[in-house]
Chain A
Amino acid sequence: MKLSEVKEILNADVIVGEKELDMEVKTAFGADLMSDVLAFAKAGSLLLTGLTNTQVIRIANVLDIAAIILVRGKKPQTEALALAKELQIPILTTKYILFETAGRLYAKGIVGCLEQVEDHIAHN
């Protein structure tokens, strides 16, 4: 679906990337643990998170994340906002909690960028 539909479904505000709303997205990953985002999030996915620091933007950049969806009404920190603009990474913010955000997107056809982790990782 288009990022503009994501915005509508989540009743979200666009903080960065008003011009990128025609972008197509199919998958998403959600976590507040950046170590896990680095391990599991796939290129072209949405990143659903409650973390708002510059590292989220850096990670989105290195992972080729399509757009960041900040949940629970979070706003990016000042430096993070400037960096997102510089690196042209769209940021949307929604008041829905992570669970609701994921559920509402899933119900409309967005799927996880992976369904489950492999056995040897799940043990930890």
Chain B
Amino acid sequence: MVAWNKLKITLHTTETENLLYTNSFDIEGGNFSKAGTIATRIKSILKEIGLPNEVVRKSAIVCYESEINIVSYARKGIITLTVTPKTVEIDVTDEGPGIPDIELAMEQGYSTANQQIREMGFGAGMGLYNINCYSDKFDISSEVNKGTFLKIIINTP
């Protein structure tokens, strides 16, 4: 957890001058009826800032996938959105079981989703793979029984 916070502080001190927007959003684990609300909100925030449609769309997709992951697997999580003139940065931190084998989790088709998640049309093992596809930069770290941290950067052309 300490290392994750350090990462965030580094980003904010280097980018503060050009900060267009930053905010953190809490996400409740297990609450499927609320899942996706933060992605919808972040999408309208980015639209309002006036970012190109494709950037808004990519950002909304990675937020949505991250949110579904937190709701599906973690106790709770936070998505931090930071917009600078050159990038949209999305940091996702959760408190949960963590991912024992990140390489395996990144593969398409690998999933530990339960029946409830699958009945909603998820759990096909595309989540992290998708996040990686839609990001310009993507970092993931995880500690078993503690949580997972994602750092996603989408460039604004």
Are B130 and A54 in contact, CB atoms less than 8 angstroms apart? no
- B12-20, B83-91, B115-123 - the one binding chain A: B115-123
SS of A interface (majority): helix
Number of A-B contacts (CB under 8 A): 74
**In the complex the two chains form, is A124's CB within 8 Å of B108's CB?**
yes
Number of B residues, CB within 8 Å of A: 29
A87→B133 CA distance, assembly (Å): 26
Contact code string B11-53 (vs A, CB < 8 Å = 1, else 0): 0000000000000000000000101110110010000000001
Q: When each residue 122-134 of chain B gets 1 if its CB lies under 8 Å from chain A and 0 otherwise, what string results?
A: 1111110110010
Closest B residue to A62 using CB positions: B60
Report A's interface with B, CB cutoff 8 A.
32-39, 43, 51, 53-56, 58-59, 61-64, 79, 87, 121, 124
List 8 A–B pairs whose Cβ atoms lie within 8 Å, in order of A's numbering.
A39-B126, A39-B129, A54-B33, A55-B36, A61-B60, A62-B57, A62-B63, A124-B108
| A-binding residues in B (CB < 8 A) | 33, 35-37, 39-40, 43, 53-54, 57, 60-61, 63-65, 107-109, 120-127, 129-130, 133
